[in-house]
Structure 1
């Protein structure tokens, strides 16, 4: 054991939290901070998710204790010995140490046995990695490290806490995918070998669990490519064939001196992560998935001459297939597929010095600022480029016009009521006429000019 630095969250200073700790201690219990919060505390980071394991008290005793303090006591995780409470508007998960035995397929195929008499070493055996098997005694500030997780943390090594319990949940492989670029530097050799042996267990995972790990990789990692390379090294990339097909897919070295499409994609996704905070929050995940999948159409369109004309369009159905396997969020799927299909357009319009009308039509399909960030990350995804320092004309044009166009599609200046005001009677032709008016508007005609043409046409 060793002493930890002060916990970094104001919640620990709340009077209600201190009362809770005192009550647990007076009832011969011990509250241990567990999970990623311990690592964040050691690294001097603010603790964001608070999970506390209480030793020496039964589940019933802990419930009665919390209720006796007039605190919120949500028993939503009762079967796993978990209680959710709230202090100063912050949700805290509290639990009793437990054993888990796998008896079936999937994350629900476990029997759970609560045991208040367990030690941290016994309870930690079921945790995925040694760095997550460390504990912080909230009463004394002592760190409990039964599996040498602190040494692994210092060296940046992700190591399975216990081989036999690790293989019981294949999601742990994907957890390594997203944790490696965030918490470590390398995966222990023996743990990597275990992951390789678990490749065929992928089918046990539900789509929503897979999605959560991808979301963490894309939104939290500074270099998501490290997670992608782990998938490749562990053999798990086979379960994402759209990405696996990028490996070894050649590119013209004149335009892509960095190597194959896989290397390029890894560079692009890291660029996108550097720009991520500049993208509107409600578009970030879309943007990151778009960067990940932007070139998945290249393997099917690359010719012996190393051209890949049409790879943008070819990537649309592949992006849809990839996304549908991990989520049923229709809006996200549609947005990501749209970015994949349009990721070349900004550059094409800029290089051809296209008229503003063409940019308006592009903006109507996808916000220009999003396509600007995508184009910038893509352009810098090659040897000798710097996404933070290099200027990119196509992206700058996107940002410039986005300020003018706004967030939504270009609004129509001619509506059905305008046609009626001109004396036209509502009919099936209204739609055709309005569409024609909109085309003229996008081409630069003013509302007055369009109405005048309509009036003259109606008089003929």
Structure 2
């Protein structure tokens, strides 16, 4: 695909993320999922039904994007922030197609967050997205699993480290919290409580 069509495709995705009340429907109606190989691949990537009974990675990702749009609107987010949150929710598992493995009856995707960040940088460059969007977007994708390695309340050091990493990329812990919440809630019958809340509590204590 040439540069001009890629730029037009990128602009269409940005409009959906900034404006569509139901991004999943807008993406399907405009044929954008099939037009972006990284999104199309999500439909062919299974998930462990214990953690994701809702279906494949595309089903989960579209559900997360719809939740992000709703939360952004409830928060009165400006278009640029809404765009960031919806795209981060949509692309948070974009690294799964390359990292998903079946082993002894289970499905894993170790390293998908880090790989996803690299893919977001490549995708953003190809679609002509500005660096001011790609930097925080990649950071949110890379860190959306940061809470998983912590049992119980995170330490002040862990929260400070994550917050600094996000802020260095022009994202925020509040942005991260939206992505984590959407990831947890977009799991059908296995929906999880908001795992970002302990991190936000500690961050509030840090000031």
Q: TM-score, normalised by structure 1?
A: 0.40
1:214 matched to 2:3 = no
Closer, same or farther in 2 for the Cα pair 1:204/1:355, shift >3 Å? Answer: closer
C-alpha offsets along residues 237-260 of structure 1, whole Å, 9 cap, x if unaligned? 443111111112011000000111
Closer, same or farther in 2 for the Cα pair 1:268/1:303, shift >3 Å? Answer: same
1:379 matched to 2:179 = no
1:344 matched to 2:145 = yes
Secondary structure in 2 aligned to 1:304? strand
Asked if the contact 2:24–2:63 (Cα under 8 Å) also holds between the matched residues in 1, the reply is yes
Aligned-pair distance for 1:353?
Answer: 3.6
Secondary structure in 2 aligned to 1:285? helix
Secondary structure in 1 aligned to 2:71? helix
1:289 matched to 2:87 = yes
Which structure's CA Rg is the greater one? 1
C-alpha offsets along residues 231-285 of structure 1, whole Å, 9 cap, x if unaligned? 5xx5x54431111111120110000001110111111111111111327535322
Pairing 1:168-247 to 2, within 5 Å after superposition: 203=2, 205-230=4-29, 234=31, 237-247=33-43
Q: Which has the higher helix share?
A: 2
Asked if the contact 1:371–1:398 (Cα under 8 Å) also holds between the matched residues in 2, the reply is no
Give the number of the structure with larger relative contact order, counting CA–CA contacts within 8 Å between residues 6 or more apart: 2
C-alpha offsets along residues 271-308 of structure 1, whole Å, 9 cap, x if unaligned? 11111132753532222211111001111111113111
Root-mean-square deviation (Å): 2.4
C-alpha offsets along residues 378-401 of structure 1, whole Å, 9 cap, x if unaligned? 100111377xxx852x22223323
Q: TM-score, normalised by structure 2?
A: 0.84
- Counterpart of 1:274? 70
For residues 228 and 291 of structure 1, the distance between their equivalents in structure 2, rounded to whole angstroms, comes to 14
- Counterpart of 2:57? 261
| Structure 1 residue runs without a partner (length 5+) | 1-201, 407-460
1:326 matched to 2:127 = yes
| Structure 2 residue runs without a partner (length 5+) | 167-171
Q: Which has the higher strand share?
A: 1
